[in-house]
C-alpha cells in the first residue's frame, strides 16, 4: 500500500508501519552512525541507471527524527542513487524509532553484510563499534551477525592499518589479502613498506600474499635494527649480511631465520618475566586469535607454567609509555636541547602520574594489569574491571544466551566443515540423479539469476534473493523457470574471464548465434570486414617485400655470372 507523506507522518512517529510512503528527498538525511562509510561512484551510477529503467524495486527504510524529518535506517545506496537521478521523492517504509541506537546500527550492518556490498574497511570499523556496544565480546558479535569469531577478529585487524594503506585498499590498489598481511606488522613498518614498495604499480601491489610475505621477510623483518635483543654477537656473525658488504651501514640483516627467531623469543620471554616479577598479581595475556610470530614465546612460557589469559580484540588498553630522553648530539644549539629536555620532563612526569594512578586502581580492584607481548617486545596493559560491575543481570543473561546460540552455531559449522571434507574426498556410488541433487543444482544456479528476472520466479519486489527465497523457488520450479535459471547461469559462466579458454570462447559464439543471431552476425561481419581489410593491406606489403627480395636475388645471381665471365676472359688473355 502506498500513501501520501502528510497522511502518515504522525502515525509513524509512534508506531511501526509496513506501508510504503512517498517522502521528499530533502526531508531525509543519512544516519551518521551508518557502518558503511564509502560508496563506489561507478556502482552508484549503475544502480541509478537500473532505477531509472526499472524503478525502485525495494523502498528504503527510515525513522522519524526528533528534530523533524527522517533518518535512514537502511537503504542509503538507493537514496544516493535516486539523488543522482535528480528525483525529488523516494518510496520508503517508516519505522518507529527503536528504544536505542544499537537496533538501528545492527539493522544497517546486517543489510550491508548480507548483500556483500560493504567495503572491508567499513565492515572492520562496524565490527569494532559492535564490540564496544556488546562489552568486547566477539562471541556475541559473531552470533548477532552470523559470522565466526575468527572472521570478526581478523576483519577488525584492518583497523590497525595506517591511513595510507587504508587509502590504497579503498582505491582497490592493493588486495584485501595484502592489507590483511600488512595489518600484522607495526605501524612504523607499515609506513616504510608503503613508502618504499607500494607507491606505484611497479612495486609490490600485485604480488600474491605468499610472495608479498616472502619479500617483506627478505627485505624488512630480518633487519636487525627492528629487534631489541642484545646484538653484540651479531656484529661479526657469519649470517649477518653486513659481514660480506664493505659498504654496509646499520646493524645488518640476519640470514639465519631460526637463530633470529630464537633470540627474539628469548628476549620477549625475559622481558615478560621482568614485568611479571614487578607485581605478583600481574598476569600474562594475549589476543584470543593471535596471528603473530611472538605467539611462539607465549606458547613456550605457558608450557613452563606461566598463566596466560586470552582477551578479545580491543579489550585491553595500553599503559602510558615513558618518553625517550633527548640526546645533546641531536640538537644544533643548547637552547634547542634545553627546550627538548623541558618537554621530556613534562611528558615523563605526566606518564609517571598516570602510571601511579593506574597502579592504585589495580590495587583497589578497579582495573587489572597484564603483561602483553608484541612482535619484538613486552609491555604492560590493563583491563577496566569496573565495566563488568555495572553490567545488569538482564544484560549478562542476554549475553550468555547469545553465547549459547553461538555454541550451537559453532557445532553446526564444525560439522559442516567435516562433512565438506567427506564430500570432497569420498567417491559417490553411480546412482540415478535424485530430486534433492536437482534442487541443490538449481539453488546454486540461482546465484546467477539476473535482477530483472526476479519477478519471473515469484519475487517482483525483491532486490535480491535470500536463502529462504531460493529454497522456496527450487521447491516449486516450472519448466519455464528452469530454462530461465539455467540460461542465466550459462550467460554468467560464458561471459566470465575465469578459465575462459579457446573452447569456451567458441561455445560463447555458438550460444550468441543461437539466441542473438542478428546482433551476432552484425558484430561478426563488422570485425571480419575490418580485419580482412587489414590483412589485405598486409598481403600487399608482403607481396612488395617478396618482389624486392626476388629482385635482390636475381641481381646477386647476375652479378655472380658476370664475375665468373670476367675471370675466364682474363685467364685466356694470359
Confidence check: pLDDT of 573 > 70: no
Q: Within this chain, do residues 268 and 374 fall inside the same structural domain, yes or no?
A: yes
The mean pLDDT of 360-385, rounded to a whole number, is 87
Mean pLDDT of 206-223: 84
Residue 102 burial by Cβ neighbours in a 10 Å radius (0-12, 13-18, 19+): middle
Phi and psi dihedrals of 294, rounded to 5? -70, -5
**Is 227 domain-assigned?**
no
Query: Would the pLDDT of 230 be above 70?
Result: yes
Q: How many CA atoms lie within 13 A of 188 on its CB side?
A: 7
Tens digit of pLDDT for each residue in 531-550? 899 999 999 999 988 888 88
Cβ contact 339:308 at 8 Å? no
Residue 490 vs residue 311, higher pLDDT: 490
Each residue's pLDDT tens digit, 425-459: 889 999 999 999 999 999 999 988 988 898 899 88
Give the span between the Cα atoms of 46 and 84, in whole angstroms: 11
Grid cell locating 176: 584485501
2 closest CA partner among 21, 23, 24: 21
Q: What is the pLDDT of residue 142?
A: 79
Task: State mean pLDDT over 39-51.
Answer: 76
Mean pLDDT for 305-329 is 84
- pLDDT at residue 313 above 70? no
Residue 74 lies in a domain: yes
Q: Are residues 344 and 455 in the same domain?
A: no
57: DSSP letter: S
Q: Measure the CA–CA gap between 287 and 314, rounded to whole angstroms.
A: 9
Cα atoms in the Cβ-side hemisphere of radius 13 Å centred on 488? 20
Same domain, 368 and 470: no
Cβ contacts of 454 within 8 Å, gap of 6 or more: 57, 460, 462, 464, 465
Region 456-468: mean pLDDT is 82
Provide the phi-psi class of 172: left if phi over 0, else alpha when psi is between -120 and 50, else beta: left
365 φψ region: left (φ > 0), alpha (ψ -120 to 50), beta (else): left
CB 406 within 8 A of CB 142: yes
Which of 70-74, 156-160, 295-299 has the highest average model confidence (pLDDT)? 156-160
pLDDT at 561: 65
Domain of residue 40, CATH code: 3.90.1530.10
Distance CA 344, CA 336 (A): 12
Mean pLDDT score of the chain: 81
**pLDDT tens digits, one per residue of 251-282:** 888 878 788 888 999 999 999 999 999 888 88
Instruction: Report d(CA 71, CA 572) in Å as an integer.
Output: 114
pLDDT-derived band at 411 (thresholds 50, 70, 90) equals confident
Residue 366 covered by a domain: yes
For 450, the domain range is 435-495
For the full predicted model, state whether its pTM sits above 0.85: no
Residue 179 inside a domain? The answer is no
Sign of CA dihedral 80, 82, 85, 87: negative
Spell out where 268-344 has E strands.
Answer: 283-287, 308-311, 317-318
pLDDT at 13: 33
Report yes or no on 99 lying in a domain. yes
User: pLDDT band at residue 4, thresholds of 50, 70 and 90?
Assistant: very low
Domain finish residue from 495, 525, 542: 495
The closest of 494, 417, 399 to 144, measured between CA atoms, is 399
Give the position of cell 535528480: 86
**Is 353 found in the same domain as 455?**
no
Evaluate if residue 15 carries a pLDDT over 80: no
Q: Coil, strand, or helix at residue 291?
A: coil
Domain count, the chain: 3
Same domain, 277 and 377: yes
| Furthest-apart CA atoms within the chain: distance in Å | 130
Share of the chain above pLDDT 90, in %: 19
Instruction: Specify whether the CB–CB gap between 174 and 143 falls below 8 A.
Output: no
Of the pLDDT bands very low, low, confident and very high (cuts 50, 70, 90), residue 571 is low
Burial of 31-57, coded b for 16+ CB within 10 Å and e otherwise, reads: beebbbeeeeeeebeebbeebeeeebb
CA dihedral 226, 230, 232, 238 (to 10 degrees): -60
Please give the average per-residue pLDDT across 91-102, as a whole number. Answer: 68
State how beta strands 317-318 and 378-384 pair.
Answer: antiparallel
Contact of 379 with 372, CB cutoff 8 Å:
yes
Give the end of a domain, one of 118, 145, 172: 118
Compute CA distances 429 → 144, 423, 437, 439, whole Å.
40, 12, 14, 19
Of 4-8, 392-396, 412-416, give the range with the top mean pLDDT.
412-416
- The last residue of one of the domains, among 470, 495, 520, is 495
Average pLDDT of 190-218?
A: 86
- Please indicate, yes or no, if residue 296 is contained in any of the structural domains: yes
Predicted local distance difference test score (pLDDT) of residue 192: 87
Question: Is residue 448 domain-resident?
Answer: yes
Q: d(Cα 179, Cα 308) in Å, to the nearest integer?
A: 29
Query: Does the residue 526 lie in any domain?
Result: no
- Summarize the confidence of residues 86-94 as an average pLDDT: 87
Q: If you average pLDDT over residues 117-124, what whole number do you get?
A: 79
pLDDT at 7: 36
Cα gap 288→505, rounded to integer Å: 49
Amino acid at each position: 500500500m502506498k500513501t501520501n507523506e502528510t497522511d502518515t507522518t504522525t502515525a509513524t512517529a509512534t508506531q511501526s508501519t509496513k506501508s510504503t510512503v512517498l517522502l521528499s528527498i530533502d526531508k531525509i538525511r543519512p544516519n551518521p552512525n551508518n557502518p558503511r562509510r564509502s560508496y563506489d561512484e561507478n556502482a552508484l551510477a549503475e544502480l541509478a541507471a537500473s532505477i531509472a529503467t526499472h524503478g525502485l524495486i525495494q523502498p528504503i527504510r527510515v525513522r522519524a527524527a526528533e528534530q523533524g524529518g527522517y533518518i535512514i535506517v537502511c537503504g542509503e545506496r538507493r537514496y544516493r542513487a535516486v539523488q543522482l537521478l535528480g528525483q525529488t521523492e523516494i518510496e520508503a517504509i517508516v519505522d518507529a524509532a527503536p528504544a536505542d541506537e544499537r537496533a538501528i546500527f545492527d539493522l544497517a550492518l546486517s543489510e550491508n553484510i548480507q548483500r556483500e556490498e560493504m567495503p572491508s574497511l567499513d565492515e572492520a570499523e562496524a565490527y569494532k563499534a559492535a564490540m564496544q556496544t556488546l562489552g568486547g565480546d566477539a562471541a556475541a558479535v559473531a552470533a548477532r551477525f552470523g559470522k565466526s569469531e575468527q572472521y570478526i577478529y581478523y576483519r577488525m585487524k584492518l583497523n590497525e592499518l595506517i591511513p595510507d594503506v587504508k587509502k590504497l585498499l579503498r582505491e582497490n590498489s592493493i588486495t584485501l589479502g595484502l592489507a590483511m598481511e600488512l595489518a600484522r606488522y607495526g605501524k612504523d613498518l607499515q609506513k616504510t613498506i608503503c613508502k618504499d614498495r607500494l607507491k606505484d604499480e611497479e612495486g609490490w601491489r600485485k604480488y600474491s600474499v605468499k610472495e608479498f610475505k616472502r619479500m617483506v621477510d627478505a627485505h624488512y623483518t630480518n633487519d636487525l635494527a627492528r629487534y631489541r635483543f642484545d646484538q653484540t654477537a651479531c656484529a661479526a656473525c657469519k649470517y649477518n649480511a653486513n659481514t660480506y658488504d664493505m659498504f654496509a651501514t646499520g646493524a645488518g640483516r640476519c640470514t639465519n631465520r631460526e637463530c633470529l627467531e630464537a633470540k627474539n623469543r628469548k628476549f620477549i620471554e625475559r622481558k615478560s618475566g621482568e614485568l611479571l616479577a614487578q607485581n605478583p598479581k600481574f598476569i600474562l595475556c594475549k589476543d584470543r586469535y593471535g596471528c603473530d610470530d611472538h605467539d611462539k614465546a607465549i606458547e613456550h612460557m605457558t608450557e613452563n607454567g606461566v598463566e596466560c589469559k586470552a582477551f578479545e580484540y580491543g579489550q585491553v588498553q595500553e599503559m602510558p609509555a615513558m618518553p625517550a630522553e633527548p640526546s645533546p648530539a641531536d640538537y644544533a644549539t643548547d637552547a634547542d636541547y634545553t627546550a627538548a629536555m623541558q618537554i621530556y620532563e613534562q611528558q615523563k612526569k605526566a606518564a609517571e602520574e598516570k602510571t601511579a594512578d593506574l597502579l592504585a586502581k589495580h590495587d583497589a580492584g578497579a582495573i587489572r594489569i597484564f603483561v602483553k607481548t608484541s612482535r619484538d617486545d613486552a609491555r604492560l596493559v590493563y583491563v577496566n574491571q569496573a565495566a563488568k560491575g555495572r553490567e545488569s543481570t538482564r544484560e549478562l543473561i542476554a549475553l550468555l544466551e547469545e553465547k549459547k546460540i553461538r555454541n550451537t552455531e559453532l557445532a553446526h559449522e564444525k560439522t559442516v566443515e567435516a562433512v565438506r571434507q567427506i564430500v570432497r574426498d569420498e567417491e559417490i556410488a553411480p546412482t540415478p540423479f535424485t530430486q534433492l541433487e536437482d534442487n541443490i543444482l538449481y539453488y546454486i544456479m540461482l546465484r546467477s539469476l539476473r535482477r530483472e528476472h526476479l519477478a519471473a520466479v515469484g519475487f517482483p519486489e525483491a532486490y535480491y534473493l535470500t536463502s529462504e527465497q531460493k529454497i522456496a523457488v527450487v521447491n516449486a520450479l516450472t519448466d519455464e523457470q528452469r530454462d530461465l535459471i539455467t540460461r542465466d547461469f550459462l550467460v554468467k559462466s560464458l561471459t566470465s574471464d575465469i578459465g575462459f579458454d579457446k573452447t569456451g570462447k567458441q561455445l560463447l559464439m555458438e550460444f550468441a548465434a543461437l539466441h542473438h543471431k542478428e546482433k551476432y552476425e552484425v558484430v561478426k561481419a563488422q570485425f571480419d570486414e575490418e580485419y580482412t581489410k587489414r590483412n589485405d593491406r598486409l598481403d600487399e606489403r608482403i607481396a612488395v617485400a617478396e618482389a624486392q627480395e626476388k629482385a635482390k636475388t636475381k641481381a646477386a645471381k647476375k652479378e655472380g655470372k658476370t664475375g665468373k665471365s670476367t675471370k675466364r676472359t682474363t685467364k685466356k688473355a694470359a
